[in-house]
Chains A and B, each alone.
With several copies, the nearest count.
Chain A
Amino acid sequence: MDSERFSIVRGPVDPRRFESVAGAGEGALVTFSGIVRGTAHDGRAVVGLSYEAYETMARIEFEAIDAQARERFGDVRLWIAHAVGDLAVGDVAVVVTAAARHRAAAFEACRFAIDRLKARAPIWKKERYADGAAQWRANETDE
């Protein structure tokens, strides 16, 4: 299994990617999976998404998120994988896993990481609609 901690992968992310990463002292694993939905925020039918990334900078941003999470939540480890390329509805676009001794830190670090990733990581998505149109979509603040 590929256990590289921070990566950009072509096509959907395997949701099992980080299923066995916990070390002996880590009793809590929290995983967020972001899945392509069939409807856009404005209600239009989506057939898929296309992601593109500034890959070298995205990996640097993931490493920065990991360092910030340790500062805030203590002894916690993060794994992040984000897809680029074309995804269909139901595909996994991003997986973030946090491992810690206890669950509070694992939950907080996982939530922090996906919030930061959505606000800051140099990754862009184009929604492809059922009617053949397509449009670049930025994240809303609360998305």
Chain B
Amino acid sequence: MQIRLLAFASLREILEAPERSLSLSEGATVGDAQKLLEEQFPALVPHRSSMRIACNGRLVDSDGMLRDGDEIALFPPVGGG
């Protein structure tokens, strides 16, 4: 299945693009996507503890199931205001 991946701020810079497409096998979880990304972009690893992930605009845990067409977003700690 295909997942749309968004990344912001420092994580966008590591991924070298604000938006990517990610191919995952059926039944993959948020944690699986994270693991795949860390293999492709090892600079993500130090951000693991502070990173949050949203799926379709809602924060999710790493065991959340993904579906074809989902939009997941990688969040560093926020700094608005």
Which residue numbers of A lie inside 8 Å of B, CB to CB?
A: 34, 51-54, 56-58, 60, 82, 93-94, 114, 117-126, 136-139, 143
Contacts of B8 in A (CB 8 A): 52-54, 122, 124
Instruction: Report the separation of the CA atoms of residues A116 and B76 in the bound assembly, to the nearest whole angstrom.
Output: 17
Distance between A96 CB and nearest chain B CB, rounded to angstroms: 9
B75 & A122 in contact (Cβ 8 Å cutoff): yes
Instruction: Report the separation of the CA atoms of residues A123 and B15 in the bound assembly, to the nearest whole angstrom.
Output: 18
B79 & A123 in contact (Cβ 8 Å cutoff): yes
B6 & A118 in contact (Cβ 8 Å cutoff): no
> Is B54 located at the chain interface by the 8 A CB criterion?
yes
How many residues of chain B are within 8 Å of chain A by beta carbon?
15
Distance between B18 CB and nearest chain A CB, rounded to angstroms: 9
Beta-carbon nearest neighbor of B7 in chain A: A54
Instruction: Report the separation of the CA atoms of residues A120 and B54 in the bound assembly, to the nearest whole angstrom.
Output: 12
Instruction: Report the separation of the CA atoms of residues A123 and B10 in the bound assembly, to the nearest whole angstrom.
Output: 12
Beta-carbon nearest neighbor of A83 in chain B: B80
A123 & B78 in contact (Cβ 8 Å cutoff): yes
B73 & A118 in contact (Cβ 8 Å cutoff): no
Q: A52-B9, A57-B73, A126-B9 are in contact. Are A121 and B57 (CB under 8 A)?
A: no
**8 Å CB interface, B3-33 against A:** 6, 8-10, 12
> Is B81 located at the chain interface by the 8 A CB criterion?
yes
> Is B77 located at the chain interface by the 8 A CB criterion?
yes
A114 & B81 in contact (Cβ 8 Å cutoff): yes
B76 & A138 in contact (Cβ 8 Å cutoff): yes
- Given A53-B8, A93-B81, A124-B8: 13 more A-B contacts, CB < 8 Å: A54-B75, A57-B73, A60-B57, A120-B78, A122-B54, A123-B78, A124-B78, A124-B80, A125-B79, A126-B9, A136-B9, A138-B76, A139-B77
Which among A51, A60, A126, A136 is the interface contact of B80 at CB below 8 angstroms? A51
Contacts of A137 in B (CB 8 A): 79
